[in-house]
Amino acid sequence: MSASSTISPTPTGNASKMRAAAALLATAVAGAGVGALAKVVDAGPMGNVGTDYGLWVLLVALIGAFGPNLLEAAARAAGFMGAAMAAYYAVQAAQFGYFSQNLFVAWFALSLTAVPVLAAASFLARRDGLAAALAAALPVGLLLLEAWSKRHHPEVASETIVVDLVAAALLIAVLSRSGRLQFVRVLAFSVPAALVLGPVHDAAMALVPSS
């Protein structure tokens, strides 16, 4: 076999890996920017929106839904959220002179575990059929769950409730583009999903330290 015929990595394969790495880096940089901004506006009238999880569920679900494949969708979402949490708590330390180490570790751990699952579900949800509708019900159900949990405190959580409901409507529209039947399926599965996710959510939040 001649030297010219020696098997080597194809330019196309290398270019694909470079594009994937660049996209992952860009997503992480964007996450850092969003995380820093969320902490900066934390004390403002829209502060609850960045503190509560609804906005983050929407962003992770959109990253997952528009990922090129399942693995990259999950990796990009994890990179985005991990960088966002790092920036969020770094700004906290710079602004207030203290660093919530336990909270950072807890949310960073969720960024590497629950976030990729949510992104993968959102990627699979763009297909048609019952399985895709069930996958779509995961992020939508989380949004409905948070909105419902805030109903007793509208004076301090009205912004969060509005964001959650608008985000849920947006995700239903994005994840059920295959047709009206899929739209109905996602809508029908989302409320039961919220009920099922309630105890899971409560158990997970119990593990997150308060400071």
Distance between CA atoms of residues 179 and 197, nearest Å = 26
Residue 97 is predicted with a pLDDT of 87
Q: What is the mean pLDDT of residues 178-197?
A: 92
Give the pLDDT confidence score for residue 64 in this predicted structure: 97
26-76 pLDDT tens trace: 999 999 999 999 888 876 666 677 788 899 999 999 999 999 999 999 999
- pLDDT for position 43: 66
Give the per-residue pLDDT at 211: 62
User: Cβ(114)–Cβ(53) under 8 Å?
Assistant: no
Instruction: Identify residue 158 by its one-letter amino acid code.
Output: S
Q: Compute the distance between CA of residue 30 and CA of residue 177 in angstroms, rounded to an integer.
A: 26
pLDDT digits 0-9 by tens, 128-183: 999 999 999 999 999 999 999 888 776 667 888 889 999 999 999 999 988 889 99
- Contact at 8 Å (CB) between 135 and 124? yes
pLDDT at 8: 44
**pLDDT recorded at residue 74:** 97
Q: What is the DSSP string of 8-77?
A: ---HHHHHHHHHHHHHHHHHHHHHHHHHHHHHHTTTSTTHHHHHSSHHHHHHHHHHHHT-SSHHHHHHHH
Query: What is the structure's pLDDT at 179?
Result: 86
89-93, 123-127, 156-160: range with lowest mean pLDDT: 156-160
Q: Which residue has the higher pLDDT, 5 or 45?
A: 45
What does the block give as tokens for 36? 């820093």
Distances (CA, A) of 161 to 16, 124, 142, 147, 154: 41, 26, 12, 5, 8
Q: 126, 132, 147, 128: which is closest to 57 by C-alpha?
A: 147
For residue 3, pLDDT over 60 is answered with: no
**How much is the pLDDT for 66?**
96
At residue 128, the 3 state secondary structure works out as coil
Mean pLDDT of 99-107: 88
Q: Where residue 6 falls among pLDDT bands split at 50, 70, 90?
A: very low
